[in-house]
């Protein structure tokens, strides 16, 4: 019998992330608007609120001493941000309208040229770039750097940013979200209070905006709590990427498809790679693979290593040096997997948390920014006299459905229909479009949960190249290159079954790019013990898609990205 990860659900329930306020009222921290997540979505919301406060100080005065606060679990804003990134400037232009020009934003420059390559093991064939993929007028950026920039802008407008702080529970009282509770700090491995124990706090707000990005912890809980889930489950891809200092400049944006992924339908290996120049002396290279894959031996980390050995790719990196590494999931369900509503009483949801990603174009940053901006405007409307909070928050749904975000996502929904997911990088596939169309019946717009795919096993791992510390790296040196310095005597933040079939344990250990899982002793009944090293975790979220559950560890843990 074949094994499905979803047959071994994690010991966790969404209600674990929902609570009533417990701190006595006089100890509660009160803020005006509370934003969870300092990514492009959350920071755009913060900046827009800051602008509105500037424009209308009298109303802002009603928000109290801390009018807007942003919680961020990373060490600093940007520490947990990882993207491509080729940025469509539309979102930023609308956010900074009349306030900032494009050349004042931290971009590496516009995209001058691009190629889409179809790879075989030793060859690369260039295919025409389809119009939907065209990137001229777009800009290359590091999202981590852009995030730091946006955070400074927000602070300049009077927003309070609280890094090293995880939002651990959604506070719900009388059917309404009233804020969040932050995580404790200073607990030992078995949960005991260490000498520097610092308990979490209840933070109360008139509106809470969740902008948690992919695999949002509280977002998932809110979906359940308020029945927001759409008709189709969300699905994800795992992306692993590196930043290199290079000897010679790369003159174009490159996407590849094909090798080292396999074409057979039974493998369900959808994805590709991106290679973007970051100025004249840096290049970023990443591999993206849909998490509905089936092979227990598939490792996106190792596929990226393999990709770098391709003669065409190696040439780009030759004489260079890897300076950073990271991993993160991307919601790929697209239009059909969007939630029913984007608000609930006291709550607004935006960005990757609700799956606003254009899969064929591999873009979500401008949607995150636009949704954050619109969420801010709806939140602000709750201050209008004569408008009920309910009406005010509902305007967010209407505005989102009326925005370019909605139009774009709806437009590409058929792309997905035609190709199955993940073919974006190849968008490419304009050429291939004709060839494959027939294989995907039109109207097939459903998604299946990644964890429902039954596992198979091939000998794929044999072809992963051995680490040489120059071009090819092992997972532990990669974790080091993510800047992860997580204290390893804190409680385990990963919920997962630890007595499972060998195949499943192997799938997890291969899948995790940060070597958190190890296949332990056999129990003699076909199952094995799964061993965990949670402090390696870079919080990519893949485990949540594939049968476990990532919860936020102590604030300040995890990677410390600066260039991703």
Give the residue with the Cβ less far from other proteins, 273 or 509. Answer: 509
Say if CB 378 and CB 343 are below 8 A apart.
yes
- Name the H helices within 295-440: 300-307, 311-317, 365-381, 389-401, 404-411, 413-419, 429-436
Enumerate residues 320-349 that contact other proteins by CB under 8 A. Answer: 323-324
Quick one: what does residue 341 bind among ligand SF4, other proteins, ligand FAD, none, with the CB cut-off 5 to 8 Å set by partner type? none
Terminal alpha carbon distance of the chain? 41
CA distance 466 to 296: 19
| Binding partner of residue 196 among ligand SF4, ligand FAD, other proteins, none, CB cut-off 5 to 8 Å per kind | other proteins
241 binds, among other proteins, ligand FAD, ligand SF4, none (CB under 5 to 8 A by kind): ligand FAD
Binding mask 67-86 vs ligand FAD (x if CB under 6 A, - otherwise)? ----xxxx-----xxxxxxx
Binding mask 236-275 toward ligand FAD (x if CB under 6 A, else -) reads: ---x-x----------------------------------
Query: How near is the Cβ of 519 to ligand SF4 at its closest, in Å?
Result: 14
Judged by CB under 6 A, does residue 365 bind ligand FAD? yes
* Complex with ligand FAD: residue 364 or 501, whichever CB lies closer: 364
The item of ligand FAD, other proteins, ligand SF4, none sharing an interface with residue 541, based on CB under 5 to 8 Å by kind, is ligand SF4
| Binding test (CB under 8 A) with other proteins, winner from 103, 195, 319, 462 | 195
Q: Using the rule CB under 8 A, give the single segment among 46-54, 428-436, 441-449, 479-487 that binds other proteins.
A: 479-487
What is residue 212's DSSP assignment? -
CA atoms of 477 and 515, how far apart (whole Å): 10
Of 161, 285, 2, the residue nearest 555 (C-alpha): 161
For residues 148-177, which are near other proteins according to CB under 8 A? 148, 160, 162, 164-165
Among 26, 122, 190, 196, binds other proteins (CB under 8 A): 196
Residue 118 host element (H or E): strand 114-119
Supply the minimum distance, in Å, between the C-beta of residue 84 and ligand SF4: 19
Task: Report the site for ligand FAD in 79-138 (rule: CB under 6 A).
Answer: 80-87
562 binds, among ligand SF4, ligand FAD, other proteins, none (CB under 5 to 8 A by kind): other proteins
Give the one entry of other proteins, ligand SF4, ligand FAD, none that residue 203 binds, where binding means its C-beta sits below a cut-off of 5 to 8 angstroms depending on kind.
Answer: other proteins
Contact 362, 284 (CB under 8 A): no
Among 304, 360, 371, 300, residue whose Cα is nearest residue 332:
360
Rounded Cα gap, residues 370 and 351, in angstroms: 8
**Residue 76 touches which member of ligand SF4, other proteins, ligand FAD, none, C-beta under 5-8 Å by kind:** other proteins
Instruction: Give the whole-angstrom CA distance, residue 557 versus residue 303.
Output: 27
Burial of 99 (0-12, 13-18, 19+ CB in 10 A): exposed
67 to 167, 208, 305, 446, 493: CA distances (angstroms): 18, 12, 46, 42, 31
364 binds, among ligand SF4, ligand FAD, other proteins, none (CB under 5 to 8 A by kind): ligand FAD
Applying CB under 6 A, the residues found at the interface with ligand SF4 are 494, 512-514, 516, 537-543, 550
Which CB atom, from 239 or from 543, has the smaller least distance to ligand SF4?
Answer: 543
Bridge-partner residues for 202, per DSSP? 181
SS3 552: coil
The reply on whether position 75 binds other proteins by CB under 8 A is yes
Of 231, 169, 176, which Cα lies nearest the Cα of 202? 169
Judged by beta carbon, residue 41 or residue 376, the one nearer ligand FAD is 41
**What string of H, E and C letters represents the secondary structure of 381-397?**
HCCCCCCCHHHHHHHHH
Shorter beta-carbon distance to ligand FAD: residue 478 or 506: 478
Q: How far is the CB of 103 from ligand FAD (least distance, A)?
A: 19
> How far from chain centre, in Å, is Cα 23?
31
H/E stretch holding 162: strand 160-162
CB 368 within 8 Å of CB 356: yes
3-state percent helix, strand, coil for the chain, nearest multiple of 5 = 35, 25, 45
Interface with other proteins (CB under 8 A), residue total 28
User: According to the binding rule CB under 8 A, does residue 213 interact with other proteins?
Assistant: no
Contacting range for ligand FAD; rule: CB under 6 A; set: 117-125, 255-263, 347-355, 509-517:
347-355
The entry of ligand FAD, other proteins, ligand SF4, none near residue 538 (CB within 5 to 8 angstroms by kind) is ligand SF4
**What SS3 state is found at 474?**
coil
Each residue 174-193 as x (binds other proteins by CB under 8 A) or -, in order, gives --------x--xx-------
29 binds other proteins (CB under 8 A): yes
Classify residue 103 by its DSSP letter: G
Q: What phi and psi, each to the nearest 5 degrees, are found at residue 279? A: 70, -160
- What does 394-410 look like in DSSP terms, one character per residue? HHHHHHHHTSHHHHHHH
Q: Which does 160 bind (CB under 5 to 8 A by kind): ligand FAD, ligand SF4, other proteins, none?
A: other proteins
Q: Judged by CB, which is closer to ligand FAD: 71, or 418?
A: 71
The answer to whether residue 218 forms part of the interface with ligand FAD (CB under 6 A) is yes
Dist. CA 558–CA 564, nearest whole Å: 14
Q: Return the SS3 of 140.
A: strand
Give which of 91, 142, 134 is closest to 112, Cα–Cα.
Answer: 134
Binding interface with ligand FAD (CB under 6 A): 36-42, 71-74, 80-87, 143, 166-167, 211-214, 216-218, 239, 241, 286, 328, 330, 351-353, 357, 362-366, 368, 552
Binding interface with other proteins (CB under 8 A): 29, 66, 69, 75-76, 79, 148, 160, 162, 164-165, 182, 185-186, 194-196, 198, 201, 203, 323-324, 483-485, 560, 562-563
């Amino acid at each position: 019998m074949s094994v499905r990860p979803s047959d071994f659900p994690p010991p966790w329930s969404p209600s674990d992330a929902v609570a009533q306020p417990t701190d006595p009222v006089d100890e509660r921290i009160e803020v005006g608007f509370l934003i969870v997540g300092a990514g492009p979505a959350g920071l755009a919301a913060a900046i827009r609120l800051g602008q509105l406060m500037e424009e209308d100080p009298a109303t802002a005065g009603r928000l109290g001493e801390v009018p807007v606060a942003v919680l961020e679990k990373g060490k600093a804003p940007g520490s947990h941000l990882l993207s491509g990134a080729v940025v469509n400037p539309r979102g930023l232009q609308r956010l900074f309208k009349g306030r900032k020009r494009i050349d004042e934003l931290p971009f590496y420059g516009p995209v001058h040229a691009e190629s889409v390559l179809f790879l075989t093991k030793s060859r690369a064939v260039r295919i025409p770039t389809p119009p939907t993929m065209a990137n001229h007028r777009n800009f290359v950026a590091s999202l981590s750097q852009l995030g730091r920039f946006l955070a400074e802008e927000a602070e300049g407008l009077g927003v309070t940013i609280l890094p090293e702080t995880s939002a651990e529970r959604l506070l719900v009282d009388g059917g309404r979200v009233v804020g969040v509770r932050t995580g404790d700090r200073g607990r030992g491995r078995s949960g005991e209070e260490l000498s520097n124990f610092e308990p979490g706090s209840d933070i109360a707000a008139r509106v809470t905006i969740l902008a948690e990005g992919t695999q949002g912890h509280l977002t998932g809980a809110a979906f359940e709590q308020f029945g927001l889930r759409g008709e189709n489950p969300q699905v994800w891809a795992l992306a692993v990427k590196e930043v290199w200092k290079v000897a010679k400049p790369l003159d174009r944006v490159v996407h590849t498809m094909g090798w080292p992924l396999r074409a057979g339908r039974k493998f369900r290996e959808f994805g590709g790679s991106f290679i973007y120049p970051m100025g004249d002396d840096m290049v970023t290279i990443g591999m993206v693979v849909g998490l509905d894959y089936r092979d227990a031996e598939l490792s996106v980390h190792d596929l990226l290593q393999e990709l770098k050995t391709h003669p065409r790719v190696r040439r780009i990196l030759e004489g260079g040096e890897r300076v950073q590494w990271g991993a993160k999931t991307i919601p790929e369900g697209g239009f059909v997997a969007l939630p029913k509503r984007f608000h609930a009483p006291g709550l607004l949801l935006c960005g990757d948390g609700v799956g606003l990603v254009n899969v064929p174009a591999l873009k979500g940053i401008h949607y995150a920014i636009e949704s954050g901006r619109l969420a801010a405007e709806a939140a602000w409307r709750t201050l209008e006299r004569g408008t009920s909070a309910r009406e005010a928050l509902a305007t967010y749904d209407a505005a989102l459905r009326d925005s370019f975000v909605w139009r774009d996502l709806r437009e590409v929904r058929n792309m997905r229909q035609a190709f199955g997911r993940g073919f974006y990088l190849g968008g490419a596939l304009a050429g291939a479009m004709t060839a494959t169309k027939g294989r995907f019946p039109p109207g097939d717009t459903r998604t299946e949960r990644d964890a429902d795919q039954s596992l198979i096993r091939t000998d794929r791992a044999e072809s992963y190249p051995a680490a040489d510390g120059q071009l090819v790296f092992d997972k532990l040196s990669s974790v080091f290159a993510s800047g992860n310095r997580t204290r390893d005597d804190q409680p385990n933040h990963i919920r997962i079954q630890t007595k499972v079939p060998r195949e499943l344990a192997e799938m997890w250990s291969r899948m995790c790019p940060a070597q958190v899982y190890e296949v332990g002793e056999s129990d003699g009944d076909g199952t094995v013990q799964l061993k965990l090293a949670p402090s390696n975790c870079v919080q990519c979220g893949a485990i949540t898609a594939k049968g476990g559950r990532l919860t936020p560890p102590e604030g300040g843990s995890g990677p410390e990205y600066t260039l991703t």
